[in-house]
Amino acid sequence: MATTAFWPVKGSLKKVIDYADNPDKTTNPKYLDDDLAQVLRYTENDDKTDQRLFVSGLNCSADRAYEEMKAVQTRFGMRGTNVAYHGYQSFKPGEVTPEEAHQIGIETAKRMWGDKYQVVVTTHLNTDSVHNHMVLNAVSFRDGKKFQNHIRDHIRLREVSDELCRERGLSVLEDSTFYKTESRGAYWAHRRGVMTHRDMLKQDIAACLQYAPSFDLLIGQLKQMGYIYDWERGSIRAPDWERAIRLDRLGFSYEVIHERIVYNLDTPGITDDWNEFHLRPPKQLPLLSLEKQIEKQLERSDDLLEVMIDLTFLIIIELLQWAQAERDAEALGRLLSPSLREEMRNLEEIKSDYALLTDQRIRTVDDLSMFMETKTAQIKALEEERQHCRNRLRRPKPPEVKEELKQRIHDISTRLKPMRKDLKAADRIAERHPQFVKLLETERQMEAHALQLARNRERSR
């Protein structure tokens, strides 16, 4: 049984390679005979790291991995902040030997990235669970394209790891969520290339775990991002989610989190990195900025968003487009609340709904109710007229009269189609509007809290 995870590395490529390729972790005397253990201890003391065990390079040499990866980045040009990706593959205690674990790690890296990327694979023996680390260059040596880190890559890593475990007769987590049938919403979201709330949660945990110096601070940061953590069950959710998700079901078992925190604590300057991530002044507060712009155009009222439906939809669209641009640019700006970001999958539909509001000049709840009543009455009248034509067709008629009635039925059906579409959109708008008002209130509170933290930090200097 092997659990897997990986996350982006920002900043120092050499630091993560040095961590993965650490003789203190890749050698353990209990797996070696006494003479070899003595030689390795001597070698470590003498900094002769070329004699370390369980360190391999894929599409690069293990000894010069940093230099060769940097050469690829220099050749093609480094874009964005992610310089590498740090993968993790941990095995059930006592189930594999270090040699077997290392071979599985190498084969996993080959099947995942061997045709395009450079990877360093190391096997660490410093815990009860033998585990592999994989450092993946963010830039392809073949075409210079950057690794995109889609959710399907995380799923594929787990699938490849389990395939290799099965081939060797090792156990796998058959009840993992990766083997359950996706919900219809998740399936279509992935088909459209957008993330579900599980995907976003996993991404947020990985982002916080990059610098977290303790588990408590990791959870504290996730709470600031809008999540609720259940300490008893080890599960996490956003306020409006029906069900919480256990951290280990997302690939963040206790061992994975502990290993990363230990790595962070061993990293010089981690406190400054964490403070920069945790307390940095927000680059943008998109909702508060938008509301300031709106105040210049409209008279401010406490229930403005509850009344102005078109304004609510416009703000939601602006926020989602902002978040999308931040994500595409790999920016480190403050994220929207998880529930609001989840609406990213519906962005095109929300734009279509907003177009209806503007085209029909629907601004308030009363306007929307009037539109729906009028449209319903129009549809009912046309349906009755069409049924009357169909009834007349049942009686004997001259051919030319029949053709005229058929054409009339066709014309009515053609007119009904867009009207029903508009009514369906209006129903959707009526359902979404109060939800959007709540999402914006949550976002406003998060931005105000982030702004207050930044101000407190400035005062304490």
pLDDT in tens, 248-295: 888 888 888 988 888 888 888 877 777 766 655 445 566 776 776 666
Q: What percent of the chain has pLDDT over 90?
A: 26
Which pLDDT score, from 0 to 100, does residue 418 have?
95
The Cα 445–Cα 120 span in angstroms is 43
Every domain of the chain with CATH number 3.30.930.30 lies at 1-180
Place of tokens 């982030």: 450
For the cut 50, the answer to whether the pLDDT of residue 332 exceeds it is: no
Which pLDDT score, from 0 to 100, does residue 451 have?
73
387 pLDDT tier (thresholds 50, 70, 90): very high
Residues in the chain: 461
For the cut 50, the answer to whether the pLDDT of residue 36 exceeds it is: no
Which pLDDT score, from 0 to 100, does residue 38 have?
38
Of 131-145, 203-217, 296-310, least confident by mean pLDDT is: 296-310
Q: Coil, helix or strand for 194?
A: coil
* 365-393 and 309-328 helices, crossing angle to 10°: 100
Q: With residue 219 as reference, give the H or E element that holds it.
A: helix 215-224
Separation of first and last alpha carbons in the chain: 49
- Tens digit of pLDDT for each residue in 392-404? 988 888 989 999 9
Ordered alpha helix ranges (H), 298-364: 304-307, 309-328, 338-342, 347-359
The Cα 275–Cα 6 span in angstroms is 23
- Tens digit of pLDDT for each residue in 167-223? 888 887 665 544 444 555 665 566 666 677 788 888 888 888 888 889 998 998 888
pTM: 0.53
Higher-confidence position of 43 and 319: 319
Which pLDDT score, from 0 to 100, does residue 52 have?
52
Which pLDDT score, from 0 to 100, does residue 34 have?
38
Q: Residue 75 is which amino acid?
A: R
The Cα 131–Cα 326 span in angstroms is 34
Contact 198, 247 (CB under 8 A): no
The Cα 81–Cα 264 span in angstroms is 18
Which pLDDT score, from 0 to 100, does residue 297 have?
52
Which pLDDT score, from 0 to 100, does residue 277 have?
67
The 235-237 sheet, strands edge to edge: 228-230, 235-237, 245-246
The Cα 178–Cα 156 span in angstroms is 9
Q: With residue 388 as reference, give the H or E element that holds it.
A: helix 365-393
Contact 9, 82 (CB under 8 A): yes
For the cut 90, the answer to whether the pLDDT of residue 156 exceeds it is: no
Q: How many CB atoms lie within 10 A of CB 102?
A: 21
Q: With residue 83 as reference, give the H or E element that holds it.
A: strand 82-91
- Choose from 116-125, 249-258, 262-271, 316-325 the range with maximum mean pLDDT: 116-125
CATH top class, domain 1-180: alpha beta
Which pLDDT score, from 0 to 100, does residue 160 have?
92
Average pLDDT for 235-255 = 86
For the cut 60, the answer to whether the pLDDT of residue 103 exceeds it is: yes
Which pLDDT score, from 0 to 100, does residue 220 have?
86
Contact 113, 47 (CB under 8 A): no
Place of tokens 């680059």: 283
Name the burial class of residue 182, with classes exposed (0-12), middle (13-18) and buried (19+) by CB atoms within 10 angstroms of its CB: middle
The Cα 254–Cα 195 span in angstroms is 25
For the cut 70, the answer to whether the pLDDT of residue 298 exceeds it is: no
